[in-house]
Amino acid sequence: MKASLQRLADRAAAEGLLDVAYTTTDSPFGSLLLAATPRGLVRVDLPAYDPGETLEELAARISPRVLEAPARLDEVRRQLDLYFDGKLTEFDLPLDWRLSKDFRRRVLRAIDRIPYGETRTYAEMARRAGNERAVRAAGTACGANPIPIVVPCHRVLRTGGALGGYGGGLPMKEALLELEGARGDGR
């Protein structure tokens, strides 16, 4: 069955009919849904999210041609596995930013430049995105990050060092910061 699905995905891709490929992968936190377009990784869903809703959103916002195609996401899965094993400190994947616009996209691009093992504040992200007064909007951008872990919104903390929020829950945020050797104790 998997081989026939893969052949179908390969044929759809060869004929230009595969706009969004998706698969799931295991993580220390549960199953992650991964989705990519020909431009790059467009979505990483944390275990707290509903995969059906995500696939519907991708079909509505990008293209209805969404197909399970695990082989198209092998490199993403490989890099995530290395990251979770503590053997990868920087993802080298093409990213498709189209699910974020304007200020949110600028915030996420600033977050993408936070080095492994370091943290920044929501205020710093607002400033780097061009509006130092938009601290709450920077927090909203973090919360709406369609590519968490790879675009490391877990590295963004409240002023003073408190964890703030995280789509996968605060225990996941703290565990990711601990994995990276960053301060994750909420102080």
pLDDT one-digit tens code per residue, 36-87: 999 999 999 998 788 999 999 999 999 999 999 999 999 999 999 999 999 9
Residue of 66, 100, 77 lying closest to 150 (CA atoms): 77
Instruction: Provide the number of structural domains found in the chain.
Output: 2
- Indicate whether 120 belongs to any domain: yes
- The rounded distance, in Å, linking the Cα atoms of 94 and 76 is 10
58 and 107 in a single domain? The answer is no
- Indicate whether 155 belongs to any domain: yes
pLDDT over threshold 80, residue 3: no
| Catalytic residue chosen out of the listed positions 46, 147, 153, 172 | 153
CATH of the domain at 112: 1.10.10.10
**Tokens of residue 11, six digits:** 């044929």
Owning domain of residue 32: 2-84
Show which of 19, 51, 84 is a domain's final residue: 84
pTM confidence score? 0.89
Show which of 36, 52, 84 is a domain's final residue: 84
* pLDDT at position 67: 96
- Answer yes or no: are the C-beta atoms of 176 and 27 closer than 8 Å: no
- Indicate whether 76 belongs to any domain: yes
Residue of 70, 43, 49 lying closest to 147 (CA atoms): 43
Q: Decide if 153 is catalytic.
A: yes
